[in-house]
Amino acid sequence: MSEPRINDRIRVPEVRLVGPNGEQVGIVRVEDALRLAQEADLDLVEVAPTARPPVCKLMDFGKFKYESDMKAREARKNQANTILKEIRFRLKIDPHDYATKKGHVERFLSAGDKVKVMIMFRGREQSRPEMGQRLLQRLAEDVAELGSVESLPRLDGRNMVMVIGPHKKKAEAKAENKRRKEEEDAAKASVSAQDAEPVDAAPADAAPADAQPVEAEQAATPEGGNETVPAAQETTSA
């Protein structure tokens, strides 16, 4: 895309002028528009050259160009191209292998990618294409929450092919996965912070609440461990 004409490169007798804040100035001579641009220390930029008369706006063209380049760069950065993934099934597939391959299809669709599902026929299996259709239909029903059939099952040589497209676009799926990861990281950080909090320990010299005082009992018992009972005095009769 070519750059717009600015200032002296605008060679028309009059223009429809728009102010720097979007206000409509009206149709003015190009000389007057250039004078207003110089007085405001701005540029006169032709934004609609095919209009009659052309529409020009007063703006800082250098700042405008920089912001436009940054927006274009950010758009290219966030642009995500849909990738066609491929996964192959055998006609006679056991339940475990089917569950594994279905998980792959679900993961691809969750990431916003299309999936080309292929069933490979061997030997006499080529005479039973309806079995392949039933298997593909079963898979489409199992992943219906994540995607829908874009290309119905069709024979391609010795194979049968079906394409399933995701419900969410690649950019949407990418943004959702990023948001989910940030939430999981925040939850893990919160749990780690709670585990790191110190626990107040009870003082080492604190006595248990149900401890009974023993000082009085110790005071009543002399050293030696046994109480001594005074002997009875003998009385003699005269």
Buried b (16+ CB within 10 A) or exposed e, 124-141: ebeeebeebbebbeebbe
How far apart, in whole angstroms, are the C-alpha atoms of residue 58 and residue 12? 16
Q: Report the candidate in 158, 162, 156 with the shortest Cα–Cα distance to residue 121.
A: 158
HSE-up of residue 162 (Cα within 13 Å, Cβ side): 21
Give yes or no for residue 196 having a pLDDT over 70. Answer: no
Chain-centroid distance, C-alpha 207: 54
Mean pLDDT of the chain: 81
Residue 183: its pLDDT value, please?
82
Give yes or no for residue 9 having a pLDDT over 80. Answer: yes
The whole-number average pLDDT for the span 185-192 is 77
123-145 pLDDT tens trace: 888 888 999 999 999 999 999 99
User: Which has more confidence, 187 or 26?
Assistant: 26
Count the neighbouring beta carbons within 10 Å of the beta carbon of residue 59. Answer: 20
How does residue 1 score in pLDDT terms, banded at 50, 70 and 90?
low
The whole-number average pLDDT for the span 155-177 is 84
80-110 pLDDT tens trace: 666 789 999 998 899 999 999 999 999 999 9
User: Which has more confidence, 157 or 225?
Assistant: 157
Lowest mean pLDDT among 15-29, 35-49, 66-80, 133-147: 66-80
Angle in degrees, CA 75, 76, 81, rounded to 5:
110
Residue 179: its pLDDT value, please?
79
Tokens describing residue 6: 């600015």
